Amino acid sequence: MTEKSSFGPFLLLSGKDNVLVARANSPEGLVVALEGGEVRLSRPIPMAHKIARHDIAPGDVILKYGMPIGIATGAIRAGEHVHVHNIRSAYTPTHMLQDADGRSAGVSL
Partner 1 sequence: MSEIQAFLRHDGRKGIRNTLVVAYLVECAHFVASEIVHQFRNTPHEGEVQLIGFPGCYPNEYAAQMMEKLCTHPNVGAVLFVSLGCESFDKVRAANAVDASGRPVKTLVIQRAGGTRSTIQAGADWIRQTLAQISEVPRVRMGVDELIIGTVCGGSDGTSGISGNPAAGKAFDLLVAEGAACIFEETGELIGCEEIMAERAITPELGNLLRESVHKAERYYATLGYGSFAAGNAAGGLSTIEEKSLGAYVKSGDSPISGLIKPGDVPPHGGLYLMDVVPDGDVRFGFPNISDNAEIVEMIASGAHMTLFVTGRGSVVGSAISPVIKICANPDTYRNLAEDMDVNAGDIIEGVRSIPEVGQEIRDLVVAVAAGKQTKSEELGHREFILTYKTFEPIGPACLPGAA
Closest alpha carbon to 13 in 51, 42, 57? 51
- Binding to partner 1, residues 76-105 (CB under 8 A): 82-84, 87-97, 99-102, 105
> Which of these ranges, 23-31, 35-43, 52-60, lies near partner 1 under the rule CB under 8 A?
23-31
* Distance of closest approach, residue 100 Cβ to partner 1, in angstroms: 4
Rounded to 5°, angle at Cα 26 from 21 and 31: 95
Rounded to 5°, angle at Cα 101 from 107 and 81: 125
> Which residues make up the interface to partner 1 (CB under 8 A)?
1, 11, 13, 21-25, 46-50, 62, 64-65, 67-70, 82-84, 87-97, 99-102, 105-107
